[in-house]
Structure 1
Amino acid sequence: MDITSWFDINNTLVNIPIGGGYAMSWIEMVGTLFGLLCIWYASKEKNINYLFGLINVTLFAIIFYQIQLYGLLILQLFFFCANIYGWYAWTRPDAMDGEALQVRWLSKDKLVKTSIISAVAIVLLTIFIDPFFSALAALSVAVMNAFGSSITLGALDPDAFPFWDAAMTVLSIVAQILMTRKYVENWILWVVINIISVGVYAAQGVYAMSIEYVILLFIALNGTKEWMQTAKANKSEYKQQEPAL
């Protein structure tokens, strides 16, 4: 079998008897597996999660290219860069004290700023989501055509759930950034994102994706619990190391 056929979404691994039936391809199955490994090892604060994350977003970028979801393809590029940065940030000594990043909570000031920026971004993206993703799709098609592709961008249907789609997009970006800096709040956001995703995919009849996000929800809940405990331990250790006045 030609190696390139393995990356074809029409190369079915298994037919899942959910809804009207769902043909899961090899690339989708492997990409999903690496995505689950990425989130699981991130919850355990293991650096290897970023290797799995890079494989996951690369495979899903190939999938989105084939099914012509160019906006999501561009989002995978962001996640690819974020995974590289996160791997670097988690393994290098911190510039302030020469030690590696530690799990901690956002300061009140940073939490307020992050919340305001996220809320404003969600509102704006909800209002302009169709032209925004149309522009992203056009940009990605232009870039790929510049490298020899011959893609014609068809008309895009209006977003079925503009607010929820905007919320998932913005919060996913914010959560990924917070994870690269080892802030506990990233897991709380992933819990929210996964709850929204389960509902949206179920409403759209994509039950396999809905089940996948149920699994991700439980991993995110476990990550929240473990990072909260780690942050508490790190804070106690820091207080013990503070010089007495």
Structure 2
Amino acid sequence: MDITSWFDINNTFVVIPIGGGYAMSWIEMIGTLFGLLCIWCASQEKIINYLFGLINVTLFGIIFYQIQLYGLLILQLFFFCANIYGWYAWSRPDAMNGEALKVRWLAKDKLIKTSVISVIAIMLLTVFIDPFFSVLASLAVGVLNTFGASITLSALDPDAFPFWDAAITVLSVVAQILMTRKYVENWILWVVINIISVGVYAAQGVYAMSIEYVILLFIALNGTKEWIQTAKANTSELEYRERVL
């Protein structure tokens, strides 16, 4: 069998008896597996999560290319870059104290700024989501055609859930950035993102992905609990050092 066939979304791994039957391809199965491994290892603060994340977003990027979801393809490119940066940031000693990044909470001023920027971004994207993703799709097609893809961009239908779609997109970007800096709040955002995603995918009849996000929700809840405990321990250690010094 040609190795490229493993990357074809029509190469079915299993038909899941949900709705009218959902044909899960090999690439989706493997990509999903690495995505779950990535999130679980991140919740355990294991740096290998970024290797799994790079594999996940690469495979999902190939999927989105094949099903012509170019906006999501661009988002995978962001996640790819964020995973590379996160791997670097988690393994590099901090410039201030020479130690690796530690799990901690956002400072109050940073939390307020992040919240305000996120709300504004969600509001703007909700209003302009259709033209925004149209531009992204055109950009992606233009780049791919530069490399000889010969793709014709079809007319995009209006977004089915503009507010929730905007919220998922913006919060995913913010959560990924916070994760690379080991802020506890990233897991709280992933919990919110996964709850929204479960509802959106179920409403659209994509039940397999809805079930996947239920699993991700429980991993995110566990990550929240684990990182809160770690942040408390790190805070206690810092306070002890300050008293000793």
TM category (shorter chain) comes to: over 0.9
Aligned position for 1:179: 179
Amino acid at match of 1:133: F
For structure 2, list consecutive stretches of 5 or more residues without a partner in the other structure.
none
Measured in 1, the distance between the counterparts of 2:93 and 2:117 equals 29
Measured in 2, the distance between the counterparts of 1:52 and 1:187 equals 18
Measured in 2, the distance between the counterparts of 1:97 and 1:200 equals 44
Measured in 2, the distance between the counterparts of 1:199 and 1:108 equals 31
Aligned position for 1:61: 61
Structure 1 ranges of 4+ moved more than 6 A: none
Amino acid at match of 1:130: D
Aligned position for 1:15: 15
Answering whether residue 165 of structure 2 is matched by residue 159 of structure 1, we say no
Q: Secondary structure at the match of 1:211?
A: helix
Measured in 2, the distance between the counterparts of 1:183 and 1:169 equals 19
Q: How far has the Cα of 1:244 moved from its partner?
A: 5.2
Aligned position for 1:79: 79
Amino acid at match of 2:96: M
Aligned position for 2:96: 96
Measured in 2, the distance between the counterparts of 1:20 and 1:196 equals 24
Aligned position for 1:26: 26
* TM score, norm. by length of structure 2: 0.99
Q: Deviations over 1:161-212 (max 9, x none)?
A: 0000000000000000000000000000000000000000000000000000
Q: Deviations over 1:4-38 (max 9, x none)?
A: 00000000000000011100000000000000000
Aligned position for 1:113: 113
Aligned position for 1:194: 194
Measured in 1, the distance between the counterparts of 2:118 and 2:94 equals 26
Q: Secondary structure at the match of 1:164?
A: helix
Instruction: Provide the aligned C-alpha RMSD in A.
Output: 0.7
Q: How far has the Cα of 1:243 moved from its partner?
A: 4.1
Measured in 2, the distance between the counterparts of 1:73 and 1:223 equals 26
Measured in 2, the distance between the counterparts of 1:174 and 1:11 equals 34
Q: How far has the Cα of 1:125 moved from its partner?
A: 0.1
Measured in 2, the distance between the counterparts of 1:146 and 1:214 equals 39
Amino acid at match of 2:48: I
Q: Deviations over 1:45-78 (max 9, x none)?
A: 0000000000000000000000000000000000
For structure 1, list consecutive stretches of 5 or more residues without a partner in the other structure.
none
Q: Deviations over 1:73-120 (max 9, x none)?
A: 000000000000000000000011100000000000000000000000
Measured in 1, the distance between the counterparts of 2:158 and 2:32 equals 27
Percentage of pairs with the same residue: 86
Measured in 1, the distance between the counterparts of 2:195 and 2:244 equals 45
Aligned position for 2:212: 212
Aligned position for 2:128: 128
Measured in 1, the distance between the counterparts of 2:70 and 2:167 equals 19
